[in-house]
Amino acid sequence: MHSDHKYIEALRQNDQILIRDIYVNHADNVQRWVQSRGGALEDARDVFQEGLIALFEKAQDPAFELSCPLGALLHIICSRKFIDKLRQKGRDTEVRNEEERRYTEEGDADALTLAEESLAEKEKQDRLGRAFEQLSELCRNLLTMLSKGLSPKEVVEQLQMNSLDTLYRRKNACGERWRSLYAEMAI
């Protein structure tokens, strides 16, 4: 969990002081970024507000934990909102230019890529966890014991299974069920 996670908690609890800090610390950066790409001041304000609303909605998920700087995540959200605005206005040339800039700005791209990857990995881990919780108790115990490095013989004894063959069949069935549940959640 990143130290900026306090802002996610502030959004959840409607903490006006910390929410004001989000505006103070990040609105100008988004405004400069939007205006440097041909957007008007009003566009920048709208984009920041829409980005903050999107972040607020994400914060309502109790499982969501911020794993990157808040500024990087807000930048990603707001940049995508701005590109969507350009698309809606039919400004395809500007959209193409913006997409090209997005991939050529090395410093920003690295931070954005890191934030995107971190967010994607967090969502993947959340889905894996939710899928794991849907497995039977036997499957959860079996997979947990094996992942902790217990020998197959120890697992057979602790779970009172008949044989190693039974263990391997159950392990394969549990793994397949877990993959299936995970795949269903990704849809």
Alpha helices in the chain (DSSP H): 5-13, 16-36, 41-59, 70-88, 92-104, 106-133, 137-147, 152-158, 164-186
Q: What percent of the chain has pLDDT over 70?
A: 86
Q: Where exactly are the structural domains of the chain?
A: 5-123, 134-186
127 vs 101, which has greater pLDDT? 127
Q: How far apart are CA 96 and CA 87, in angstroms?
A: 10
pLDDT by residue (tens digit) across 107-118?
Answer: 455 666 667 777
| Arch. (CATH architecture) of 134-186 | Orthogonal Bundle (1.10)
Residue 93 is predicted with a pLDDT of 56
Decide if pLDDT at 168 tops 90.
yes
At 166, the pLDDT band (50, 70, 90 cuts) reads: very high
Tokens representing 132 are 């794991």
Q: How far apart are CA 74 and CA 61, in angstroms?
A: 17
Q: How far apart are CA 151 and CA 144, in angstroms?
A: 12
At 136, the pLDDT band (50, 70, 90 cuts) reads: very high
State which amino acid sits at residue 111.
A
Of the candidates 50, 67, 82, which has an alpha carbon nearest to the alpha carbon of residue 116? 67
> With the C-alpha atoms ordered 58, 86, 72, 24, is the resulting torsion angle positive or negative?
negative
Q: What percent of the chain has pLDDT over 90?
A: 29
pLDDT by residue (tens digit) across 37-84?
Answer: 888 888 889 999 999 998 888 888 888 887 888 888 888 888 888 888
Of the candidates 68, 176, 177, which has an alpha carbon nearest to the alpha carbon of residue 122? 68
